[in-house]
């Protein structure tokens, strides 16, 4: 049984993650950390094997440092933090750290297809759409997609109520365009990827590891 604590447990993603962990036969939810619950990350580490972090960009790195150096593995779903800062914070820690800008399997496939298409098409741009409360722009998914593609790929960010998380990758060439689109209708779409990471994080050959594709295509 994998003992799991969730940071940011009172948020929308945190609540969805808690429910997914409680519904998994091989996991036990042992802690919910969130300022609104009066519970800190330090309060939930003693009983956890894995900490899942869906907090905010300003707390992610410190949470990972604290947990990993306590021997607790970390799965990060929050975005907007600097990878160099994370690497420095968890260097030498016994706990392994995994992070992904997007845990939806379809989004990872979109990024892979976009990377391949960019090798053959002249130019591309990304339009990413998120709910109005999202703190970072561009999104971690859009930034990761652009980094995987050939050439300079501009990103356009839309923040509106009624949206969860969508992305278009539009590629253009002579007399043609190709659009690769991923649409998220509910936050449960991320949960298979989150649970996969929780199950695999302890086995990582290095730390930190970034990107769900590293687990899908090792």
The angle formed by the CA atoms of residues 156, 159 and 160, to the nearest 5 degrees, is: 135
Q: Exactly one of 73, 130, 131, 156 is catalytic; which is it? A: 130
Question: What gap in Å lies between CA 145 and CA 151, rounded to an integer?
Answer: 12
Catalytic site includes residue 96: no
Catalytic site includes residue 130: yes
DSSP 98-166: EE-S---HHHHHHHHHHHHHHTTSSEEEEEEEE-TT---SS-HHHHHHHHHSSS---EEEEE-TT--EE
Q: Exactly one of 73, 119, 131, 134 is catalytic; which is it? A: 134
Query: From residue 39, how far is each of 95, 105, 137, 204, 207 by CA, in Å?
Result: 21, 31, 28, 29, 27
Q: Are 212 and 100 in contact (CB under 8 A)?
A: yes
| Active-site annotation, residues | 130, 134
């Amino acid at each position: 049984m994998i003992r799991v604590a969730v940071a940011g447990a009172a948020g929308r993603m945190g609540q969805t993650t808690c429910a997914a962990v409680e519904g998994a036969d091989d996991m036990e939810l042992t802690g919910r950390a969130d300022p609104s619950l009066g519970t800190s990350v330090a309060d939930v580490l003693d009983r956890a094997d894995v900490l899942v972090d869906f907090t905010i960009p300003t707390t992610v790195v410190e949470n990972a440092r604290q947990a990993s150096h306590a021997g607790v593995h970390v799965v990060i779903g929050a975005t907007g933090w600097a990878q160099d800062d994370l690497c420095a914070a968890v260097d030498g820690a016994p706990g392994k750290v995994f992070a992904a800008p997007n845990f939806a399997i379809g989004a990872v496939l979109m990024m892979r297809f976009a990377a391949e298409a960019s090798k053959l098409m002249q130019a591309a741009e990304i339009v990413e759409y998120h709910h109005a409360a999202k703190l970072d722009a561009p999104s971690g998914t859009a930034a990761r997609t652009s980094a995987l593609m050939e050439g300079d790929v501009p990103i356009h960010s839309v923040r509106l109520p009624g949206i969860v998380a969508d992305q278009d990758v539009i590629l253009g060439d002579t007399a043609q365009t190709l659009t690769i689109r991923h649409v998220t209708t509910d936050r449960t779409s991320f949960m298979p990827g989150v649970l996969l990471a929780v199950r695999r994080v302890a086995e990582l050959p290095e730390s930190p590891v970034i990107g769900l594709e590293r687990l899908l295509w090792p």
